Amino acid sequence: MTHGESKVLRVASLARVEGEGALHLRIHDGEVAEARLKIYEPPRFFEAFLRGRSSTEPPDITSRVCGICPVAYQMSACRALEDARDIVVGERLAALRRLLYCGEWIESQTLHIYFLHAPDFLGGDSIIDLARTHRTQVERGLALKQAGNAIVELLGGRAIHPVNARVGGFHRVPTRAELRPLEERLRRARDDAEATVRWVAGFDFPDTGIDNELLALAEPGTYAIDSGTPTAMTAPSSAGLPADTDRALPTRTFPLATFPDHVIETQVPHSTALHSRLDGRRHLTGTLARYAISGRWLPPDVLQVAGDAGLGDPRAGTVCRNPFRSIIIRAVEVLYAVGEALRLIDTYEPPPRPYVDVPDRAGTGHGATEAPRGLLYHRYTLDTDGTVTEAALVPPTAQNQAAIEQDLLHTVQERLRTGPHPTDAELTALCERVIRNHDPCISCSAHFLDLSVDRD
């Protein structure tokens, strides 16, 4: 790029993400001065209109924030509303919730792998294109996604905005016999999931890394999905290491009730999604964070497959900070969720009642679970008759936005320094890939890409 060159680039819309957004790049003298991810999904004001609703309503209402991860919203809402009344549901109900959540993990992560992300590695603009060149794989992806949907449909009634979850448990719980038909399907899904890990592990990955803190729930002994304590892993630069270091760094935890003191949301002029900082620093939630924090608790057979796929051994302190490789971790998470679902079905005992009573009482409750895209936090304040007086939702993408911008800045900078002068189309494609690596879900504002580049 010649000295002082100035240029503006615009790309109308970002594809294969959930929601709508734009990207603004300012390039000065061949250096990226600024990368702003603009989320322009029109605001939908959930937190405002939840006020005045009954305490029974947030699970159903907040599921409408996102059609891709409705179960995550339902589960975080239920946990927060139960917490406000000091209720913890019993083990059997908790197991059934985890089973429902495994269903969403399988279908949502598979959607991202096959529909949104794989075309970046294989060429082609959509899964329909892929179906022409990779028919067997695409059919496998569809079957795998369907297996996840089958769980959500059986437990929840339908795959999008299921109707069966409620504060305290479920409206109706299945019998053992009702769950049985899922088993056969999930056994096939396990083969498909394993084949998926091997498939994506063979893609071509650029060497790169991200330098920010990683935040996920942790529940020692298990791979956290539906509960856990917020746990943050130090950023490489704070430890004086390069961004792509694969060493596990020190972690710290904080009680969920103090989440609002640690994760502070701020508003930026260019986005309808709020930005947030973890103790003043950029952080990333989601697949990379979960694997870094909970990877060592995966069952040995899953760890074996992950190791063979080149992810190293989390028990020996290896973590993956390469966002391009998140597709492999996502596939490992699907494999895990399939196995976990089979285990939960195998050990399922119908709870004595479909739900526990959650009597009304004034209070504030916090709930967080691991949505496929990352940690999803809800807080509700209730008055004595159970009316919601205040609601706060902190979705993963809002937390990740700053880290994604940093990753964009870094990646574009690398490209400008090392390769030949990129065309606008090349830059757009690169940025879209970087963004898709993080699987942002922008319908929560909370959407995709309109690239403008100012070169001056």
Partner 1 sequence: MPALSDRRPQLGVWKFASCDGCQLTLLDCEDELLGIAEQVEITYFLEASSAPGPGPYDLSLVEGSVTTAEDTERIQHIRAASDRLVTIGACATAGGVQALRNYADVAEFQAAVYARPDYIDTLATSTPISAHVPVDFELRGCPIDRGQLIEVITAYLAGRTPDVPAHSVCFECKRRGTVCVTVAHGTPCLGPVTHAGCGALCPAYNRGCYGCFGPSNSTNFPSFIPLLRRDGMDTLDVVRVLRTYNTAAPEFDAAVRKELPG
- Annotation: binding site for Mg(2+): 47, 393, 447
**Cβ proximity of 137 and 199 under 8 Å:** yes
- By CB under 8 A, residue 44 contacts partner 1: yes
Structure tokens at 400: 């990740």
What six digits make up the tokens of 46?
């959930």
- Binding-site residues for Ni(2+): 66, 69, 441
50-59 burial string, b = 16+ CB within 10 Å, else e? beebebebbb
The maximal CA–CA distance of the chain, rounded, in angstroms, is 73
CA distances (Å), 239 to each of 217, 227, 249, 279, in order?
Answer: 22, 29, 8, 16
The one segment of 27-35, 156-164, 218-226, 329-337 that binds partner 1 by CB under 8 A: 156-164
Residue number, 52 or 67, with CB nearest to ligand SF4: 67
Contact 373, 216 (CB under 8 A): no
Residue 310 makes contact with ligand SF4 by CB under 6 A: no
Which residue among 194, 340, 407, 432 contacts partner 1 (CB under 8 A)?
Answer: 432
Give residues with Cβ within 8 angstroms of 242, minimum separation 6.
Answer: 209, 236
Q: How far is CA 419 from the centre of its chain?
A: 32
Torsion of CA 169, 173, 176, 182, to 10 degrees: -90
- Interface size with ligand SF4, residues (CB under 6 A): 4
**Least gap, CB of 163 to partner 1 (angstroms):** 5
Looking only at residues 37 through 66 of this chain, which bind ligand SF4 when binding is defined by CB under 6 A? Answer: 64
Q: Among 7, 31, 34, 49, indicate the residue that binds partner 1 (CB under 8 A).
A: 49
User: Alpha helices of 232-382 — where are they, by DSSP H?
Assistant: 259-262, 287-294, 300-308, 326-346
Assess 42 for contact with partner 1 (CB under 8 A): yes
DSSP annotation string for 357-394: ------EEEEEEEEETTEEEEEEEEE-TTSBEEEEEEE
Contact pick of 58, 59, 70, 323 for partner 1 (by CB under 8 A)? 70
From the list ligand SF4, partner 1, none, pick the one residue 70 interacts with, judged by a Cβ distance below 5 to 8 Å according to partner type: partner 1
Contact between 449 and 428 under an 8 Å Cβ cutoff? The reply is yes
List the binding residues for Fe cation.
69, 444
**Residues 76-115 contacting partner 1, CB under 8 A:** 111, 115
Verify binding: residue 172, partner 1, rule CB under 8 A.
Answer: yes
Which residue among 43, 67, 202, 419 contacts ligand SF4 (CB under 6 A)? 67
List contacts with partner 1 (CB under 8 A): 12-20, 41-49, 51, 53-54, 57, 60-61, 64-68, 70, 111, 115, 119, 125-129, 131, 138-139, 142-143, 145-146, 149, 157-161, 163-164, 166, 171-172, 266-269, 272, 274, 354, 432, 443, 447-448
Query: Which positions touch ligand SF4 (CB under 6 A)?
Result: 64, 67, 161, 163
